[in-house]
Amino acid sequence: MFSKILIANRGEIAVRIIRACNDLNIQSVAIYSRVDKDGLHVKMASEAHEISEDPLAGYLDAQKIIDMAKMSGAEAIHPGYGFLSENAHFAQKVVEAGLVWIGPSSDVIAKMGDKNVARTLMKKNGIPIVPGTETLNNESMHTIKLYAKQMGYPVILKASSGGGGRGIRVVYKEEDLEDSFNACKREALTFFKNDDVFMEKYIQNPKHIEFQILADNYGNTIHLLERDCSIQRRHQKLIEIAPSPSMNKDLRRKMGVVAVAAAKAAGYSNAGTVEFLLDEDNRFYFMEMNTRIQVEHGVTEEITGFDLISRQIRIASGEILDIAQSDVLNIGYAIEVRINAEDVRNDFVPSPGKITAYYPSLGPFVRVDSCIYKDFVIPPYYDSMVAKLIVRGLSYDLAVRKLSRALREFKIRGIHTTIPFLINICEDKEFKKGLFDTSFLEKKIQDLIPKEEHDVSDVVAAIAAAIAVRAGM
């Protein structure tokens, strides 16, 4: 087992990895940019080192991170999610430097990171994929339009190296195809330095189902059930549920077998996620494989009892996976909501700033993964997620009610958050019944945005202050 690990990340996921290191009696090394000097991960780690004055440059500088790891005596690097976590070149450089990369091999990251390569690999191995094309960059617009016509509109254009909802355009009619294709290329080049774009048939109103994979370095591969990530805004997940409240055991078994087969076809090791689209007729299609830990890994941990971050570290250290597929059982349902620092009534614009009060939810089977605290100043340079609230109940209905209660108790003041919006989702009849797909928010979002943001505790405080003033008169 490792004695020291460097965490090449920040925020909530860095805190989560530090906690796993503490559980395993491993020292942790945090890195931070100048604006992150007061970050919780900096305070919690065994040691912390400033890596850059620039808010982003240090977290994206592979060589600087590797040099910091060697200087600190770390034996391994955990990339978390985001930043360089799916950068095959970084993973390779880590290994070449004599360190251990906590994740799949650089070859696997490269294969799965190129959606076209991944699709081709899956097709060769009998994994169902959505009908689509190879890279279209060398094709004429006339040919691209012919492909779209053969598939039938709507179609979806995707960046081959895309992720996080970037580099995606849905096209419903031919006259919009060229502009959408060019816009997709520009966005792909901006975010991924690769403007390769391909096209698929757009599956309308599917469910987004993903299976958590664990695999050791010796070919042992299992799945830890599925998560339903259908509730999204602009291709960004907001709520994740494990297991899916609308899937039966037979479909779960079939998809799980295919997910494991997909991971084995890729030669996968460590923790990863195989993502599928599930249509209205329960036909499922491979969409992509994420070669890192997911933001939503906590719901899988809650229903299975397995610590995924600890498992990542143990697998990377050379341990044999000691879990068989038959050992994986779910205990009820878990739901995660991402609490973002955003003003929902102002088109979800980010809301950085100083947190003047912080009261996270408590109670049985309520978990909060976060990196904030009272007086912490949220910088404007990073993703707007400030906390993940995860609840578990023996039934889906109980989990939803527990989530609603926990959200109402959760107080973050000084900034706008998405908590009132999430409370409204909990009250939606279709959400309560588990009847939703990826079109859920597209259809309902205007009705779910709170008209006013009332905080009951603030109202009570105002009344008490008014009474006190009157009594003193």
DSSP 3-state percent helix, strand, coil across the chain (nearest 5): 40, 25, 35
E-assigned strand segments in 327-453: 333-340, 342-343, 349-350, 353-354, 357-359, 366-370, 377-378, 385-393, 411-413
**Beta strands per DSSP E along 234-295:** 236-242, 270-278, 284-290
Instruction: Using alpha carbons, select from 188, 27, 6, 15 the residue that is nearest to residue 102.
Output: 6
Angle (CA) 112 115 120, round 5°: 85
**Terminal C-alpha separation, the chain:** 69
Instruction: Calculate the CA 299 to chain-centre distance.
Output: 12
Asked whether the beta carbons of 41 and 7 are under 8 A apart, the reply is yes
Distance of CA 7 to the CA centre of its chain: 18
- DSSP state letters, 6-28: EE---HHHHHHHHHHHHHTT-EE
State which amino acid sits at residue 198.
F
E strand intervals along 270-330: 270-278, 284-290
Q: Which two tokens stand for residue 174?
A: 């031919």
> Among 203, 243, 204, 207, which Cα is nearest to 435's?
207
CA distance 93 to 431: 45
Angstrom distances, CA of residue 194 to CA of 66, 162, 177, 470: 25, 9, 20, 66
Nearest residue to 321 (alpha-carbon basis) of 260, 269, 254, 397: 269
Whether a cis peptide bond, with omega within 30° of 0, leads into 154 is yes
Active-site residue, 292 included: yes
Of 252, 292, 367, 392, catalytic: 292
Active site residues: 292
